[in-house]
Amino acid sequence: MKKEEDTVSRIFDIEMEDLDDQFRSMGKMVARTIDKSVVGFMAHDTKTAEEIIDRDHEINEREAAIEKKTFEMIALYQPVTTDLREVVTILKAVSVLERMGDYARDIAYSTIRIHHRENGDRRMPEIERKISEMGLMATRTFDEILDAYVSDSIDDAQKVADHSEEVSRLSATIRKDILTSMKGDVDTIDAGADYLVVVGYLKRTADHATDIAEWLVYKRSGKIVELNPGSSSFI
């Protein structure tokens, strides 16, 4: 009986390693997509935007495959305690990755929308510079959460949450600047509206990196925590 249990445990560990690999691979795909969406928006690159939109289904398919695998593992191995937390963490985190992919797609839609608008070339260079800075910070936060997943470190997870807060503060500053510009020049209202949308998506991206960090804490400790109390991914 003990020998059979050891065999099942080894098989579970192998399956878990494969699941980890799938999650990290999807994470890298989402990271590249977010980065491309921000760069494309800043460059007014509709070709890149269309490519992101066309390939959004690939991220959705990755999510579906990983979810299917997690449910199969729960049904087959009936994991408990630490093993169960590992599977649940991936199940929760992969849905967050998919939402981040959706934000990249929606930024791509904004790129196309503002390009085709009659006064689409009425941009705000200084605002765009700040959005670019925010984009770099958001993607850095996302890269850090993937690293934290590999290191399996609560300290690394907390650092991700701290950097997410920095993105939130920059978001508030940029939103204020955009609204001020829109009030002062009606020709920037349409572009400004899209800037606000993009800033919102980037903030949510960083907020969701914190969501994954919280699940990593759960995996390591079994505790449900809120690393950035009071922060909302919807503002």
Q: List the pLDDT tens digit at each of the 235 positions of the chain.
A: 566 666 778 899 999 999 999 999 999 999 999 999 999 998 889 999 999 999 999 999 999 999 999 999 999 999 999 999 999 999 999 999 999 999 999 999 999 988 876 544 577 888 999 999 999 999 999 899 999 998 888 999 999 999 999 999 999 999 999 999 999 988 888 889 999 999 999 999 999 999 999 999 999 999 988 887 765 554 4
Three-state secondary structure of 90-120: HHHHHHHHHHHHHHHHHHHHHHHHHHHCCCC
Residues with Cβ < 8 Å from 42, sequence gap 6 or more?
128, 131, 132, 135
Short-list 162, 132, 131, CA closest to 145: 162
83: buried, middle or exposed (CB in 10 Å: 19+, 13-18, 0-12)? Answer: middle
Short-list 231, 66, 108, CA closest to 165: 231
Domain 2-221 has CATH 3.40.50.300: no
Whose tokens are 């445990």? That residue is 9
**Domain edges within the chain:** 2-221
Residue type, 217: V
> End-to-end alpha-carbon separation of the chain, Å?
54
